Structure 1
Amino acid sequence: MLTLDAAAVRQSTPWHELIEAIERLLVENDASVPQRDIHDVGLPDGGTGSLLVMPAWVDREVLGVKAVTYYPSNAGTDLPTISAGYLLFDGQTGQLRAVLDGDELTLRRTAAVSALAADRLARPDASRLLVVGTGNLAPNLALAHVAVREFDAVEVWGRSPQRAAATVQQLVEHGLPALPADTLDEAVGRADVISCATGATSPLVRGALVQPGTHIDLVGAFRADMREADEEAIRQATLFVDTLDGALGAGDLAQPLDAGVISVGDIAADLASLAALRHPGRTSDSEITLFKSVGFALSDLAAARVILDRMDSAGDGLGGQMARSERL
């Protein structure tokens, strides 16, 4: 049994390979993905956190389970509020093959899902990418998006200019044409693709400023009280989701639904329909498209399957990047 740290997970999931693996698993449609379980957990400060359990498997091939903890009591400390681990089992024998760094796996698959959707929904000539947010997901989103198309400029906006500058520097070191955006509204107005990954509870992207033909990617707001785009942005866009059940509970869609701005019937398609070409995606250069994702266990499994294939090809070695541990 192997333990893979963040660096090993990152090395083992190159963008093109990861994006193709997610697309393939969506198209094959042979994975079992039960609803995730969410349990309340008592916290040291007397509050309540969460334990999420997200299983998925392909019969006789591979099984995976991601466990995620949400500890809001860690806010303001050096500890993250969300931590995750992933267990990867052999589908033939049921034996535990690897324990993966779940945080890195989540970052990689989340960004890859956004890139896959943008590949179907952004204009072919899209040349300006705006990343809104400066957390760990922000550079991953930019790198995944540039893996599916070439951008002339990658702008980064965050509430902290210092954090935005640090994110830009990371992207420049990867060879991207990155630069900080001084004003969010102006950056929204000149972007062809807008990718948001924030914890905002009030809208950041104003629909009145979004230009025809823009693709909007909303990743960060996963709770009903969170919001990254205003009602105008939602109302004027053709709406797509990673999974219908998950995305409808997020504030970017849940709040306009409650207000009667949109209905469930306004959701054009989910990612599986886009991947399998059951929906054509963008239908005109002037259409505004919007993709809302909250994460789903199938994408975790696809990423883990990429790692499993590399383990088998490399004899469980992966170039010495994995640390061998004792069998549990």
Structure 2
Amino acid sequence: MSLSSNRTLQGAQVNRKPLLVLDRAQVAGLLDMAQVIAAVEQAHTALSTGAARQPEREALSLPGDASLLIPMAAAVDPLGGAGVKLLTDTPGNAERGLPVQQSIITLIDPETGRYEALLFGAPVTQVRTAAASAVATKHLARPGARTLGLIGAGAQARTHLAAHALVCDLDEVVVWSRSRATVDAFAAHAREAGFAVKVADGPEQVAREADVLCTLTPSREPLVRGAWFRPGLHVNAVGAPPRPDHREIDTTGIVRSRVIVDSFPVACGESGEVLIPLAEGAITEDHFRTELGDVITGRAVGRSAEDEVTLYNSVGLGIQDVAAARLVVDAARRQGIGTLVDLS
């Protein structure tokens, strides 16, 4: 779609730089995985050094359906991005045939405070989530990791495969999903992309055979047991929504792993992988204090031994959304894509 404007955008109003609006298809078409990986890595670096800022966030409970509204504000100086993602998590939508999580992202010009762009959020979330996992794998997995294990075979499985292919020399993908149709569709996609694929009998087989394991389900109860972790495994725990009673990894898995979080305050406020073991008294907060950005900058140790199990607990951060959205908006302006709206 070419760049267009609404009827109110005339004459001198052009100088007001109206809001750029990008829909789902436009956002998805402008996302480049390699660029997003680099931007997410830079955003976490900036968070470690103080060049990125994000306030403490608090989920707002909405009436009627256990829904949450989660504002995720952030500014990342090196990338020239600032803005807010508004995320809703609505469990009842699963029965309505609607997305459980929905979002929009607003970018502002940090210098003038002008609202610069409004983006459909789902494609950004999907790609930046996989990019963050790939950054964690790059810095935490054993050298030579070649087998990618995926628990869950939906859209995140596809983006995680694409992201990890850029940071690992993959030989094989081992995948499992509750849905045979979903796992078969993923396997066909991966094979068409040139990867060897093994469809596992269950989560245990995936965990035991993987060098890098990505858990990509919205599970409330643990699907993955720490007893299955073999020495040297790296885990990206991704799928559980930001709710303190949801988790994919059991307490044993957390205790056995060197845990790296995207943000300590966010993880301690929203992640079941963190809060449930803490409530059980199985571990202390110190187990979760290492942030991914500090590993990237060398302020903290990541993997300390070849046989150590590392685990990246991904909750999702505004700095990731803003970094990816900045890339999208810049590309849209270069290519003349989107709709201009003058709200004044």
Write out per-residue CA displacement over residues 140-190 of structure 1, whole angstroms, 9 at most, x where no aligned residue: 122112211121011221111111111222333433333422232122111
Q: Show the counterpart of 1:86.
A: 105
Give me the CA root mean square deviation. Answer: 2.0
User: Are 2:44 and 1:26 aligned?
Assistant: yes
Change (3 A) 1:112 1:214: same
User: C-alpha displacement at 1:212, in angstroms?
Assistant: 0.4
Aligned AA (2:111): Q
1:177 to 185, 196, 199: 196
2:70 to 39, 52, 58: 52
CA distance in 2, matches of 1:268, 1:176: 36
Aligned AA (1:324): T
Change (3 A) 1:34 1:75: same
Contact 1:107–1:137 (8 Å) recurs in 2: yes
The count of aligned residue pairs is 319
CA distance in 1, matches of 2:178, 2:85: 31
Q: Show the counterpart of 2:255.
A: 235
Q: Show the counterpart of 2:326.
A: 305
Q: TM-score, normalised by structure 2?
A: 0.86
Secondary structure of 1:134's match?
A: coil
User: Are 2:142 and 1:123 aligned?
Assistant: yes
1:13 to 22, 31, 44: 31
Q: Show the counterpart of 2:59.
A: 38
Contact 1:62–1:92 (8 Å) recurs in 2: no
User: Are 2:307 and 1:327 aligned?
Assistant: no
Aligned AA (1:280): V
Contact 1:86–1:101 (8 Å) recurs in 2: yes
User: C-alpha displacement at 1:268, in angstroms?
Assistant: 5.5
CA distance in 2, matches of 1:125, 1:70: 37
User: C-alpha displacement at 1:317, in angstroms?
Assistant: 4.2
CA distance in 2, matches of 1:17, 1:96: 24
Contact 1:128–1:193 (8 Å) recurs in 2: yes
User: C-alpha displacement at 1:270, in angstroms?
Assistant: 0.5
Change (3 A) 1:294 1:149: same
Q: In structure 1, list runs of 5 or more residues that go unmatched.
A: none
CA distance in 1, matches of 2:288, 2:81: 32
* Greater shift in the superposed pair: 148-157 or 90-99: 90-99
Write out per-residue CA displacement over residues 256-293 of structure 1, whole angstroms, 9 at most, x where no aligned residue: 11112111112361011012121231122111111111
Contact 2:104–2:121 (8 Å) recurs in 1: yes
Identical-residue share of aligned pairs (%): 35
User: Are 2:117 and 1:102 aligned?
Assistant: no
Q: In structure 2, list runs of 5 or more residues that go unmatched.
A: 1-18
Write out per-residue CA displacement over residues 62-109 of structure 1, whole angstroms, 9 at most, x where no aligned residue: 321111122333221221121101111222332222211211111111
User: C-alpha displacement at 1:138, in angstroms?
Assistant: 2.1
Contact 2:65–2:90 (8 Å) recurs in 1: no
Change (3 A) 1:176 1:49: same
User: Are 2:83 and 1:64 aligned?
Assistant: yes
Q: TM-score, normalised by structure 1?
A: 0.90
Contact 1:64–1:86 (8 Å) recurs in 2: yes
Q: Show the counterpart of 1:196.
A: 215
User: C-alpha displacement at 1:31, in angstroms?
Assistant: 2.2
Runs of 4+ displaced beyond 6 Å: none
Contact 2:174–2:209 (8 Å) recurs in 1: no
Q: Show the counterpart of 2:165.
A: 146
1:196-275 correspondence to structure 2 within 5 Å: 196-221=215-240, 222-248=242-268, 249-267=270-288, 269-275=290-296
Change (3 A) 1:95 1:37: same
Aligned AA (2:191): V
Which gives a bigger RCO, structure 1 or 2 (Cα 8 Å, sep 6+)?
A: 2
User: C-alpha displacement at 1:59, in angstroms?
Assistant: 6.2
